Amino acid sequence: MSTRGALPLYDPYDPSTLHDPYPAYRRLRDEAPVYHQEERNFWVLSRFSDVFAAVTDSATFSSARGLTFEPDEILKLGLAPTLVMMDRPEHTTYRRLISRGFTPRSVATLEPAIRTFVRHRVQTMVEAGNADFIASLAGPLPSLVVATYLGVPEQDRGKFDGWSAAIVSANARGDALDGASDAVAELYRYFADLIERRRSEPGDDMLSDLARAEVDGEPLDLLALLGYCFVMIAGGNDTVTGLLGGAAVALTEQPDQRRLLVDTPGRIPAAVDELLRLVSPVQGLSRTTTRAVAIADVTIGAGEKVHLLYGSANRDPREWGPHADDLKVDRQIPRMLAFGGGPHHCIGAAAARLQSRVALEELLAAMPDFVVDPERGRLAPGPFVRRYESLPLQVAP
């Protein structure tokens, strides 16, 4: 446990922790698996078993007071509580409105467009010989998919990509509105207008479906619809961009594992889950306790913020064995926490896996010897999402 005046085991904003959080995670798991961060007054769970139990117990660990340890998160958002900030039964009702578009069968229909986009971007990098991997592929790809889901017209994609990039960058810090207020305001104005058009001129997209949806016989109000748009943009981009950047680093650092995928591309779908485990783009999200709960001989009171460190849990040797920090593309992954779990398991998981699989297939086929340089890259400056904002790539060493 922490002691007043002593250096904390975990300071989420410490520059050395942001650069490399894994030594701090190791200390937490070994020395204080239920840790109180006194300066910011929140608890931290770091072992896989404890985090997994918490995400699957939404009755005790509530999402309704926000998903970060920062106070007044929902008030800062300026919207009605979004889907990810609801508990059952309300969460079930609102999640059901969009779940049809995220089934594996529905997601599979996106593959041709995704592959065409990725192949073009990869070929451009090959011809150039070097590139910023994030700007060239890992950032634009999920933005394309989110725009497709929301029915953003082709002529508006440039503006949409700019707003998305600003929001995703600020969201990694946990201050999406403070860090990207102009982008958020412009985005809301744009979608408010698009929603009105979709009410009278529906298309074949999720926003049109939501504009016509009803809950208890009443249509969704504008704030609820804007909340869906915000969640799609903030959540739909982070995981894929973070995974692809982290995967490129891992495959550069462990060329033997990369060679297995190059020689046997059929391994790539399973390797995506191993890369998700290792990289954990969403490093952690918070919950609020609804009752006192005892974990590992420590009692956390009701109404306390509890930060669930997915990035630590996914490298816990108690779950993954002594080589939990290593990439093993053939590792069996019966369960992991890159997409959270329980009722809040990421609804876009199938779409994220599809984008990641296609990107790795095309990348490794076209440039099997690529290298990236994380030391010259730039990480997003926040504790919630571990994601490169830039990452230099060479097609061949």
Q: 284-326, pLDDT tens digit by residue?
A: 999 999 999 999 999 999 999 999 999 999 999 999 999 999 9
User: In whole angstroms, how far apart are CA 3 and each of 28, 37, 301, 322?
Assistant: 14, 10, 19, 30
pLDDT averaged over every residue in the chain: 88
* pLDDT at residue 291, as a whole number: 97
What stretches of the chain show up as alpha helix (H) in DSSP? Answer: 15-19, 22-31, 48-55, 73-77, 90-99, 104-108, 111-128, 133, 140-150, 157-173, 176-179, 181-200, 206-212, 222-253, 255-263, 268-279, 310-313, 317-320, 349-366
Lowest-pLDDT choice from 39-48, 277-286, 339-348: 339-348
Q: Cβ contacts of residue 133 below 8 Å, gap of 6+?
A: 125, 244, 245, 248, 372, 388, 391, 392, 393
Q: Max CA-CA distance within the chain? A: 62
Q: How confident is the model at residue 6 (pLDDT cuts 50, 70, 90)?
A: low
More confident call, 257 vs 184: 257
Phi and psi of 219, rounded to 5°? Answer: -65, 155
Residue-range domains of the chain with CATH = 15-394 (1.10.630.10)
